Amino acid sequence: MQYFISHYNKESELKFPDDLIIYDTTLRDGEQTPGVCFSFDEKIEIARKLDQFKIHQIEAGFPIVSEKEKETVKAIASEGLNADIIALTRTKPGDIDVALECDVDGIITFVGTSDIHLDHKMHITRQDAINLCETAVDYAKDHGLYVAFSAEDATRTDIDFLKRIYSKAEECGADRVHIADTTGAITPEGIRYLVSELVKDLNVMLALHCHNDFGLAVINSITGVLAGARGISTTVNGLGERAGNASLEELVMALKILYGKDYGFKTKYIKELSDIVSKASGLEVPYNKPVVGNNVFRHESGIHVDAVIEEPLCYEPYVPELVGQKRQLVLGKHSGCRAVRAKLNECELDVTDDELIEIVRQVKKSREEGKYINDQVFKEIVKNTKK
């Protein structure tokens, strides 16, 4: 058995689309994390690993930003990956020209649609925004691109206006429209309402770009898909502006394990992907980060360790191998004889029963005196006890 979840989950009653698209934006929104700037080589390495993971689409960057960004996006597009490579553009034909020079498969072209964005960022009217959408989608479709039109700050936009601008995008041949929850300001119930309303009027595929300001990016994405959306934007390690985006690893594992919806991603590469992105971004993954954190498959409490030695699923919802992680038993003040015996076996050390009891005592004592019991400290304790 590789996983064991609550039998109260009623996945059979939920309707997930078979053709869900995950478009990962680690290389674009992830790179917009303050302080993060990937090198050319790092971006290529991340793109290759995402492709190995079998991600559907990679948002490789925002090519108008700089000459180097443009070169990098072009290089990723020429890697021959199975994933579609898409670039971000504003609704300016000039931006789209630069994306075309990168030979990408498609673009995400965006404009702010909420009144607060129209008034205080763009300084334009709603009609102006519709015109920008029309010009950009028309232009990009004329040049043979896959086109996603994204309404920035969609979750704080008047719904009638949203319907109008998405309908315009659809009329111009957009392949997809995006709801960007730019400030992470919606609840799962809000997303369910918004998506259900929009799918009544639209035929074009709807996708979600959720931010994690309240820790709801993953559940908002899942709820949106259950309400009729068919695309989700993610980042590795949940990287992204402010509190980041929907985390790729959390989303994929929740779908696969909790909801029983396996989209064929190679989840065994998850830990590797997380490590590469952590190193390249310079941002360490918190120890308790779901799926990829160092503590997620690490057990210390004696009662837990005893149970885990006999049956790991006593204290794990799924086994670490599914995501390329390893189970670790850590010795500490809560450790008992079984945990210490397991550690001795792991270190290929043999002791008598009396020695074992003394080693357990010394392990607890050392930990309480402030020492972290790594293998070296443990071997030292064993050596001293056997004297």
Tell me the window of 24-32, 313-321, 346-354, 378-386 that interacts with Mn ion (CB under 5 A): 24-32
Of 26-34, 282-290, 299-307, 358-366: span binding Mn ion (CB under 5 A):
26-34
26, with CB counted inside 10 A (0-12, 13-18, 19+), is buried
Which H/E stretch holds residue 146?
strand 146-152
Question: How near is the Cβ of 137 to Mn ion at its closest, in Å?
Answer: 20
CA distances from 242 to 27, 31, 33, 191 (A): 16, 12, 7, 20
Does 152 contact Mn ion by CB under 5 A? no
Stretch touching Mn ion by CB under 5 A, among 29-37, 287-295, 332-340, 342-350: 29-37
Binding to Mn ion (CB under 5 A) within 63-82 occurs at none
User: Is the dihedral angle over the CA atoms 67, 68, 74, 77 positive or is it negative?
Assistant: negative
Quote the least distance from Cβ 209 to Mn ion, whole Å.
6
Number of residues that bind Mn ion (CB under 5 A): 1
Between 43 and 209, name the residue whose CB sits nearer to Mn ion. 209
Q: Are 113 and 80 in contact (CB under 8 A)?
A: no
Is residue 29 close enough to count as binding Mn ion by CB under 5 A? yes
- Is residue 181 close enough to count as binding Mn ion by CB under 5 A? no
Among residues 77, 28, 89, the alpha carbon closest in space to that of 48 is found at: 77
Indicate the residue among 62 and 297 with the shorter CB distance to Mn ion: 62
* CB count in 10 Å sphere of residue 120: 10
Residues 6+ apart with CB under 8 A from 345: none
- Written as six digits, the tokens of 85 are 């490579």
CA distances from 8 to 4, 5, 11, 13, 258 (A): 12, 9, 9, 12, 10
Give the per-residue contact string, 188-207, with Mn ion (x = CB under 5 A; - = no). --------------------
Closest distance between Mn ion and the C-beta of residue 31, in Å? Answer: 11
343: tokens are 């550690």
User: What's at 142, amino acid-wise?
Assistant: D
Shortest distance, position 243 Cβ to Mn ion, whole Å:
11
Q: Which residue is nearest to Mn ion (CB)?
A: 29
- Does position 153 interact with Mn ion (CB under 5 A)? The reply is no
Tell whether residue 42 is a contact of Mn ion (CB under 5 A): no
- Interacting residues with Mn ion (CB under 5 A): 29
